[in-house]
């Protein structure tokens, strides 16, 4: 049932990578449909490698006209639906957000990324506020995912941005997605994380642990939403 939408009006924030990491992890336990609504179809290209997990379904014909239909079809077919959108401020983004149970805003630790992420928060908050007028108690929970962070060094810019987000009351996942070769290798080898060879990819175990931790935190957040639909998270 949960539809998780990845949003960032800025390209390169890590939407496709983080949505594929989450889909790949969830597909270890449950059926997942990933809707590739990026016109470049990066997930579809990844799936062409032939190593797509059996429980992971890829829908790659979504556009502004049919996105809502595609999400509804997918939600009826698999327990989890993940929507990866293009990195622009386009209407399809807001349409997908309107159908979401949870929105994830991947953001890199740069001022530019954080400013663009702010546009995403405004859209999410406004959507929630306006639907609440018709459906009292409606909540549209969201969280920021800091991406491509360095596992060893915490830059001052990142610390500043995270502090700013927390101060503004914006929820931020405890787990960050680190900059890992394995996350890039998923695309270059067109493999799920578990299909990569540790001989080819450095620190694969650390990438797997990072991906599992991220998926675990998302599952916990989704359970909270499911258990207390009126309160959200």
Partner 1 sequence: MTERVNPFGDLGDFSAAPAKSKTGHLDVAEEVAAANGFTSRQPAKPVAPAAPPAPAAPVEPAAAALATPNKPPKEALPSRRRTTGRSEQVNIKTTFAAKKRLMEISVERDMPLGEILELALEALEASWAEPS
Site membership for partner 1, residue 97 (CB under 8 A):
yes
Which residues, other chains included, contact 133 with Cβ-Cβ below 8 Å and sequence gap of 6+?
A: none
The reply to whether 47 sits near partner 1 by the rule CB under 8 A is no
The rounded distance, in Å, linking the Cα atoms of 160 and 127 is 28
Q: Which is nearer to partner 1, 29 or 157 (CB)?
A: 29
Q: Mark the segment that binds partner 1 (CB under 8 A) among 10-18, 83-91, 105-113, 153-161.
A: 83-91
How near is the Cβ of 158 to partner 1 at its closest, in Å?
Answer: 26
* Interacting positions 158-197 with partner 1 (CB under 8 A): 194-197
Q: To 5 degrees, how large is the angle CA 2–CA 15–CA 81?
A: 20
231 binds partner 1 (CB under 8 A): no
- How many chain residues touch partner 1 (CB under 8 A)? 57
Closer CB to partner 1, 134 or 156, in the complex: 134
Q: Which is nearest to 121 in space by CA: 100, 133, 108, 105?
A: 105
Give the integer Cα–Cα distance in Å for 36 and 195: 21
The DSSP element (H or E) to which 33 belongs, if any, is strand 32-37
Under a CB-based contact definition with an 8 Å cutoff, are residues 132 and 153 in contact?
no
Stretch that binds partner 1, among 59-67, 143-151, 157-165, 167-175 (CB under 8 A): 59-67
- Does 55 sit near partner 1 (CB under 8 A)? no
In the region spanning residues 190 to 219, those forming contacts with partner 1, defined by CB under 8 A, are: 194-198, 204, 208, 212, 215-216, 219
Q: CA-to-CA distance for 39 and 92, rounded, in angstroms? A: 11
Considering just the CA atoms, what is the radius of gyration of the chain in Å? 17
Give Cα 80 to chain centroid, integer Å.
12
Residues that bind partner 1 (CB under 8 A): 1-3, 9, 25-26, 28-31, 63-65, 68, 71-72, 75-80, 86, 88-95, 97-99, 119, 122-123, 126-127, 130-131, 134-135, 194-198, 204, 208, 212, 215-216, 219, 222-223, 226
């Amino acid at each position: 049932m949960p539809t998780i939408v990845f949003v960032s009006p800025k390209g390169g924030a890590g939407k496709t990578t983080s949505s594929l990491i989450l889909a790949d992890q969830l597909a270890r336990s449950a059926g997942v449909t990933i809707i590739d609504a990026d016109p470049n179809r990066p997930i579809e290209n990844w799936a062409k490698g032939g190593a797509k997990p059996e429980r992971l379904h890829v829908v790659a014909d979504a556009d502004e006209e049919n996105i809502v239909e595609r999400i509804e079809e997918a939600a009826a077919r698999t327990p989890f639906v993940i929507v990866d959108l293009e990195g622009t401020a386009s209407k399809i983004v807001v349409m997908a957000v309107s159908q979401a149970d949870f929105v994830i805003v991947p953001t890199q630790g740069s001022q530019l990324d954080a400013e663009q992420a702010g546009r995403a928060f405004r859209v999410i908050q406004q959507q929630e506020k306006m639907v609440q007028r018709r459906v009292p108690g409606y909540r549209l929970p969201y969280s920021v995912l800091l991406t491509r962070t360095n596992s060893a060094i915490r830059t001052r810019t990142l610390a500043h941005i995270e502090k700013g987000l927390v101060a503004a009351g914006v929820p931020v996942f405890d787990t960050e997605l680190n900059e890992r070769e394995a996350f890039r290798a998923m695309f270059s080898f067109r493999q799920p994380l578990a299909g990569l060879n540790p001989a080819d990819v450095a620190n694969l175990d650390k990438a797997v642990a990072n991906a599992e931790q991220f998926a675990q935190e998302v599952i916990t957040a989704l359970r909270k939403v499911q258990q207390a639909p009126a309160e959200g998270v």
